[in-house]
Structure 1
Amino acid sequence: MSEFLATINGYIWSNGLIYLCLAAGVYFSVRSRFVQVRQIPEMIRLMMSGEKSPSGVSSFQALTMSLSGRVGTGNIAGVATAIAFGGPGALFWMWAVAFLGASTSFVECTLGQIYKTRDHLTGEYRGGPAYYFSRAMAHTRVAAPFKIYGIVFAAVTVLACGLLLPSVQSNSMASAMHQAWGVEQWVVAVGTVIVLAFVIIGGVKRIAAFASVVVPFMAIVYIVLALIIVLANAGQVPEVFRLIFASAFGADSAFGAIIGSAVMWGVKRGVYSNEAGQGTGPHSAAAAEVSHPAKQGLVQAFAVYVDTLFICTATGFLILSTGAYRVFDGESASSPVLAEGGALPSDAAVGPAFAQVGFDTLWSGAGATFVAVSLAFFCLTTIIAYYYMAETNLRFLLGKYSTIPVPLIRGTLGSNLTLVLQTLILVSCVVGAVSTATDAWTLGDIGVGLMAWLNIIGIIILQQPAYKALRDYERQQRAGKDPVFDPLALNITGATFWESYKPTTKDPVKTTA
């Protein structure tokens, strides 16, 4: 089974997907006139402002919900894996895919807001790729194919976020805790189920409240402590930069043979971590209460920077500056070793152990505990975000049938299938916690790859409304207004929610962005 999964993963994560991610980022950057650079001041302003309502969460809560999905094991174990199999240069390609991916994130998250809807069961806002695929072309001759495309994406997302991706997070969390405290992995699995059951059954409001507290706090603590380690090894920073750039472009003879691996692993782990183009960000973006879709597009573009340029970079510099790395000439830890920093024990497994050893170089014995605690919070919030995305797509698949009563079973079809989904994601966490890391990561990569293929191709076709929204936002912005969205004035069809939307505030906002 492991070989079969690896073969499937190899087809999905072929060079075609690598080039698609990079090319799409370049294309969206040019088309948006590098919105990810021009609008950074506005991104920061919007991140801390915005309204919320009984139906929608605030911009900041939507950001933290998005970050709870982006910030997870990919920021620690994922960075370590990228360095181990792609060399230090993989970190450069993670930066590249984050910079380009911020424009991709703007497009997909703006589309998510434009075509969002109100859940008729809970009253909460719902949206995402399945919604914009089915609605953007609803009044055209190609409506049927795009509706089918939306159904396919929704089904893949339920599979990926409900079954495949949670196992990676629970596996990394259980492995880190076992290494730190010797806790049996099945014990971690039971604890995870208890915490998750309490949060996810509470719905999107409880998810947003949980994420808005946990994610910023843990991200800041992790970055600060990692930077302290890097500063303590400040003399190694020039060598770290040399390693990264020399490895990224094959200028170092030690890494020349794996320059292709640097690109592949950098993009692969970059997309896994920051999720730009994967289609996950639009789900949390759609949940926000804003007066204009471009607001969430800008906020979610900044989320890519937070994830990769801040947290992943902190992990990468921590690992490289302390020498807690080992680079292999192949796709597994059984391959010959090309280079190593000298700080890792010979039996250190690829993954969280790299970061744990890095922290231990300054705080002996505390590194394993700190990384285990960090991963516990990061992974839990990521699993919760996965559940929200899976539930949103389940709602899409059920449509009007979600309110149909089920004979002999109390409740509606929607509520009963939601309970089934909640059970499945908890089972996935248990299985992942006691599985091997290789199988868990392979399943996760398959889920990410399938979603990325479908979403990026789709938004390349449907991108135009996002640019219309951006130009409209910037026009109102220059006029000193708090932008308000009117899809009919922009000749955008299918945005039925916005056609009757009444913003809660229209206060002028002075800005120079």
Structure 2
Amino acid sequence: MLGDIIGTLNNWLYTYILVILLIAAGAYFSIRTRFVQFRLLREAFRVILEKSPGEGGVSSFQALMVSTASRVGTGNIAGVSAALCLGGVGSVFWMWVIALLGGASAFVESTLAQIYKVKDGEGGSRGGPAYYIQAAMGSRGLAVVFAVFLILTYMVGFNMVASYNLVDSFSGYGFFSDTTPYFAGALLALVTAVCIFGGGRRLTAVTGILVPVMGGAYVLMAVVMIGLHVDLLPGVVAAIFENAFDFQAIFGGFTGSAMMYGIKRGLFSNEAGVGSAPNAAAAAMVSHPVKQGLVQMLSVFIDTLLICSATAFMCLCSGVEPTAALKGVPYVQAALSGTFGSFGLWFITGAMLLFAFTTILGNYYYCEGNLKYLLRREPARWEMSLFRLAAVVIVFFGALMDFTMVWDLADVLMGCMALINLPVILLLSKPVLLALKDYSAQCRSGEDPVFRAAGIGMPGQTEFWN
């Protein structure tokens, strides 16, 4: 009964509201920023390598790795596979569209988080949608609602998905039994506990190492797979574009169309406009808010245009047909094992282990900042311990969940976050546009941009930049 209600709400959200809101917001921000996601792409790569100007804070690169850890996860494997198996190959095109437009949305929300961030008392900073909603709109109530939805989405919905997908990766092995989810879930929960009980610094250190390694290895495997089946590549590319514009299928049954699956999985994967990445962006110590906006924009491209595309082409170039029976991890495993044998099976299992683990860490990092916002203070040791224990228990139970239920729950919770954050950043985009103008002017004069709130007409309106 509950599963049916969540499923209905999920289809309604993505059929009638979020499709229009996501594309409209991305297009609006692209136009207003003069397509910042393309125009300043080279500058974004330059900024990543800058050292943090302050002591005790998170570097721009570390903030990128935390947000990428959350974005690049099991959804990049299982989610893309589900879209291909249930929505068709045309769903890949709509993932690309959401990413290209979403780059501008990600830039706006992360720059906004930097502008309205607050000092954390440890030499660093924190912030995110809850902070800029209260500071710029004066609405503590709406900010609290958002913070609660974020914790439910990431600590409950998304971390359950990550845990479930990890267990699902073992379903193709002979040793898989009814007890496997319990053992796998317990082991994942234990390793998660070791990391999150070590605090935010340990989380950023772990993700800073694992994310580049796992992403690089995964893309390399995709390149090898495509190279071995390069003769199939032209047909795969043609099929993606042909099926993307099957408008009879789209309007005849949108809830099962390539467009809907592409948008849902694209949003689930890159999270542009949802309001998650700004929580990591606000922790970065940079000389100008726009710098971190550019860096977080890159995270969207890394996630969807690189990692999601790697999964799609790796599967479609294998020659294995996507079917509903193979949805999720089994399709990716079947694609690789058909070419590499048992190595392909183990490689995907290993990738799922790393992707699930880093996703859980990145997701949890967002939740701690919002817990502090809700409490309006640093949590007591017992409060933080209880919160971390709850996160560990949720990871364990996610391993035991049903496929449809766990995905639909995550989609609905994420949709609720987007419904709050997207209208807010549309209303608050003016400071971002002024900051971008200020940044560009300083770059043209040969300076390393330094932000002052008074420089864009906001004296006394921000805590950190005054």
Aligned to 2:421: 455
Name the counterpart of 1:481.
Answer: 447
Aligned pair 1:390/2:367, yes or no?
Answer: yes
Q: Which residue of 2 aligns with 1:423?
A: 389
Structure-1 residue corresponding to 2:13 = 12
Aligned residue for 2:160, secondary structure, equals helix
Counterpart amino acid of 1:324?
V
Instruction: Report the residue type matching 2:163 in the other structure.
Output: S
Q: Does 1:149 align with 2:137?
A: no
Residues paired across the two proteins, number: 460
Bigger shift: 104-113 or 349-358? 349-358
2:346 and 2:355 mapped to 1: Cα distance? Answer: 14
- Matched to 1:372, the amino acid is T
The Cα offsets for residues 67-124 of structure 1, whole Å up to 9 and x where unpaired, read as: 000000111111111112221111000000000000000000001111111224x554
Partner-residue secondary structure (3-state), 1:150: helix
Tell me, yes or no, if structure 1 residue 209 matches structure 2 residue 202: no
Match of 1:276 in 2: 272
Contact 1:180/1:372, CA 8 A, preserved across alignment: no
How far 1:52 sits from its partner (Å)?
Answer: 6.0
The one of 464, 469, 474 equivalent to 2:435 is: 469
The 1-side partners of 2:423 and 2:77 are apart by 29
Superposed CA deviations along residues 27-84 of structure 1, whole A, max 9, x for unmatched, are 0000000000011111111122231644311111111111000000111111111112
3-state SS, counterpart of residue 20 of structure 1: helix
1:182–1:455 distance in 2 versus 1, CA, 3 Å: farther
Query: For residue 424 of structure 1, what is the amino acid of its counterpart?
Result: A
Q: TM-score, normalised by structure 1?
A: 0.86
Q: Distance in 2 between matches of 1:491 and 1:181?
A: 65
Query: RMSD of the TM alignment (CA)?
Result: 1.8
* Preserved CA contact (<8 Å) 1:80 1:325: no
Q: How far apart are 1:442 and its partner, in Å?
A: 1.4
Deviation at 1:262, TM superposition (A): 1.3
Q: Which runs of 5+ in 1 are unaligned?
A: 138-142, 328-332, 334-347, 403-412, 500-513
Q: Following TM superposition, by how much is the alpha carbon of 1:178 offset from its aligned partner in structure 2, in angstroms? A: 3.9
Shift of 1:360: 1.3
Number of the residue aligned with 1:494: 461
In structure 1, distance between residues paired with 2:75 and 2:124: 29
Code of the aligned partner of 1:118: K
Distance 1:151 1:259 in 2: 34
Mapped partners of 2:60, 2:281: distance in 1: 8
SS at match of 1:277: coil
Alignment of 1:376 with 2:356, yes or no, is no
Larger radius of gyration: 1
**Correspondence for 2:161 among 163, 168, 181:** 168
Partner in structure 2 of residue 65 of structure 1: 66
> 1:54, 1:175 → 2: CA distance?
42
CA contact (8 A) 1:127 1:392 kept: yes
Does the 8 Å contact 1:163/1:424 carry over to 2? Answer: no
Matched letter for residue 19 of structure 1: I
For residues 447-476 of structure 1, the C-alpha deviation after alignment (integer angstroms, 9 at most, x for no partner) is 211111111111011111111111111111
Return the structure number with greater helix share. 2
Gaps in structure 2 of 5+ consecutive residues: none
By relative contact order (CA 8 Å, sep 6+), the higher-ranking structure is: 2
Listed as ranges, the matches of 1:33-432 within 5 Å are: 33-51=34-52, 53-120=54-121, 122-137=122-137, 143=138, 146-180=139-173, 182-183=175-176, 184-250=180-246, 261-327=257-323, 333=324, 348-400=325-377, 402=378, 413-432=379-398
Cα distance in 2, alignment partners of residues 189 and 128 from structure 1:
30
Relative to structure 1, is the Cα distance of residues 188 and 54 closer, same or farther in structure 2, using a 3 angstrom cutoff?
farther
Aligned equivalents of 1:165, 1:358: Cα separation in 2: 25
Which whole-Å CA distance do the structure 2 matches of 1:178 and 1:190 have between them? 17
* Aligned-partner Cα distance in 2 for 1:182–1:208: 35
TM-score (norm 2): 0.95
**CA drift at 1:415:** 3.2
CA shift digits 1:1-40 (9 cap, x unpaired): 2212212323333321111101100000000000000111
| Separation of aligned partners in 2, 1:247 and 1:154 | 38
Are the equivalent residues in 2 in contact too, given 1:353–1:368 (CA < 8 A)? no
Q: Name the structure 2 match of 1:511.
A: none
Q: Is the 8 A contact 1:398 1:414 kept in 2?
A: no
The C-alpha deviation readout for 1:208-244, integer Å capped at 9, x for no partner, is: 1101100011101000111110111111111101110
Q: What one-letter code is carried by the residue in structure 1 that aligns with 2:105?
A: T
Q: Report SS of the residue matched to 1:306.
A: helix
Amino-acid identity (%) = 38
CA distance in 1, matches of 2:49, 2:314: 29
Distance 1:54 1:498 in 2: 16
Tell me how far 1:149 sits from its aligned partner. Answer: 1.4
